[in-house]
Structure 1
Amino acid sequence: MLITDDFLPVPVPETLTATYLVPMTGLPRVAPRTALAALAGRLAEPVHGLARQMLDSPLMSVDTRSIDEFPALPPDLLTAFGASREQLDRLAAATHVVVVRAEYRPGWPPAHEWAARTVAAAVAESAGGDVVDVFALQFLDPATALRSLPDAQGRIRLIDWVLVPYSSDTDGLWFTTKGLRRFGLLELQTQGVPDHLTRAWGAVLTGTARRLLRTWTDGLAGEEVPAFVQLPVLTAVTGHDIAVAYGNPDQHGATAPVLLRLELDPATDPDADSFLSLHPPAGHPGPPGRYFASACGMLFSGIQPDVRYARRGDAMTKAVATAREALPDVRARFLAGALPDETQLVVKYGIPGDDGPEYVWAAVTSWEVADRITGTSSSDATTDPEVRIGSPVVVESSDVVDWALLGPAGVLEGGWTQAVLDSGDPTHPPPP
């Protein structure tokens, strides 16, 4: 194997195992094969056929045990990963658990995961119960588990298989993935992420996972499982990677690629996990958090600074009026926690300059007083050296000329002035 500074050799495990549980009260009344047969016509045939073949082979086992024979599942972690009170109550009342296990070699497709989740969902549906994904410590109702399985073209949403938990660290937020080891790849981590990038960096990390997973599985495509797969030290991530990971391949803009440097972070504790850490490219000036914020600005449309100063025009004037008219409603939704999941509210406002106002974006963190918005800058201002990516800002509502809701694939709502600019109209919002 050729080792260079451009590639990072990552070890490949010999086999992979998937484990799913189906807690239930009493013994199962429907055999696994019968439960699986009931899914005929509801799943893409490659997946249904794969599950049948593995269920009839030594690669899969389905056992029913007394709940007392199985280690207790931690309710706090289950809750942290989305378990409802009803699901925890059913787990507490369960007397038995059906254990579905499957093994397979690393590569694509991940037959062990697809087949084990299919059989577990079939058993849970027949019993009116839940599926517990042991790897992620996550409850899945049967319908959700079945929806996560690949379609006829073998496509999946990576967010159904890889979670992105985060926690506070001394230098910001610490992000990790939880799910790449299903496919044999080490989990990713990023440290020092600015607090206001919670949703945005989670999406970037998911898109990066998609990009690296594709490289990883391409390296496992041969007949023999290699000892190592070489991953590029500098990985380019685009908005398309993020959109595909979220199952929206057609909902992405033409974004420039963002470079992230990959570094192996081996665990010193034999019981702990090793990680692939993501950093700015070598030689990048300033703290990593500034680079991460800039990367988010490049990957998500609508938060780049706008320093084009030009005459007012009818289209832009109308765009500003539309945005301002909708400000009270979006504020009410923000305060009520009624904005869509996985979205970030940003506002565009003007900073006075000698040649006219410069318009920049800020991520909203608080809006308790109607005429004053607290947030963090999403871009570096040219006219004000104190307005830098990630720096705290206070914006007067009267200075706002636009707002937008940003999701993993771009602008979901708002962004009227940006739409005018993107259409080629050279005009700019008039000064407030």
Structure 2
Amino acid sequence: MSDQTLGFDTLAVHAGTEPDPATGARQVPIYQTTSYVFRDADHAAKLFNLEEVGYIYSRLTNPTVSALANRVVALEGGAGGIACSSGHAAQIMALFPLMGPGCNIVSSSRLYGGTITQFSQTIRRFGWSATFVDTDDLDAVEAAIDENTRALFCETIANPGGYVTDLPAMARIAERAGIPLIVDNTTATPWLCRPIDHGATLVVHSATKYLTGNGTVTGGVVVDSGKFDWTASDKFPSLSQPEPAYHGLNFSALGPMAFTFHSIAIGLRDLGMTMNPQGAHYTLMGIETLGLRMERHVKNAKAVAEWLEKDPRIEAVTYAGLPSSPWYERAKTITPKGAGALFTVSVKGGYDACVKLVDSLKLLSHVANLGDTRSLIIHPASTTHRQLDEAQQIEAGAAPNVVRISIGIEDVEDIIADLDQALTTATA
């Protein structure tokens, strides 16, 4: 049976792996090795020339890490992909083959605060830049694209606010401009949405979150749809022309795998954003239960959001699974199984009440993470979005009176009871 004929939960357990040929081990072994013995000099030359697929050095590829990448590729419906050291690494890895000095991206303004900083500050050191636009204003998105734009970037379900992006509309804009659409699918996961089905070119994940699901490792994944024609213009010379960083190889000759092989042969080789095999193993085990966990995450999140929306101590809830949300109808199309398990809550009493709330919780953990089996909370304005000014915080959905909640898989009655007692203290 091919991956295309298997269901999601079957792929989550089996995709990308076979019993170990050396030992018959059914679970993917942790290949804790830096290097691999070549059969002979000719074999080594073929590997380095990309004439034969195999393992050279674990900064590039490793059997455990490759199994993880292949599994996520299968779940996302892509052609190829790589696993790397973190979600932030995945974002740089996605951009690296596309960009050059003077190039820019057009990005959603509704993003994780660390991504806003990475795009507004850090990538400038590479000579790249970013323009941030409200992706609900499609005319503004299109107007922001210029001759040096090399990609559109957005999140399926935006962190922290839980807003749902109109992916087909973004894909149409990207197609007209002749540039790829890059979608961060971390908070939705392929269980809720496969962005490639909506026209995305590249999908990135922080595997640290729902894919692993247990808060044990950091990791990232980039999935390529294999559908973008890199040779249609001269915008992407690293993929469409002889690449001087790899003895003049033209990666477009590799067809749908051009982006993936470039990311391995040059991106991982030179940037070194490598995922460790033990971390990949933890994530592989986590993905086995992804569908089961996401179903519970979404069910719990809907119940908690409905309760919070009715609570007089709360000003607003941003959950797209509520009929009151502006993104409610869109979520039915983009994430038909539910609106995820991440949203923000505006607390009466402002900044001080939010601080008291996170300090008063007993079951929910106050941490800088999301997508755990445990319910998590954070006050973005004093933590993840602290580096932004208040106007940027508000635009990103992280105003001073806002807390972000990631709903876990505990008994929902216990989650609500903990929020109830903490809100009583915070708003007294």
Name the TM-score, length of structure 1 as normaliser: 0.28
Greater relative contact order (Cα 8 A, min sep 6): structure 1 or 2? 2
- Larger-gyration structure (1/2): 1
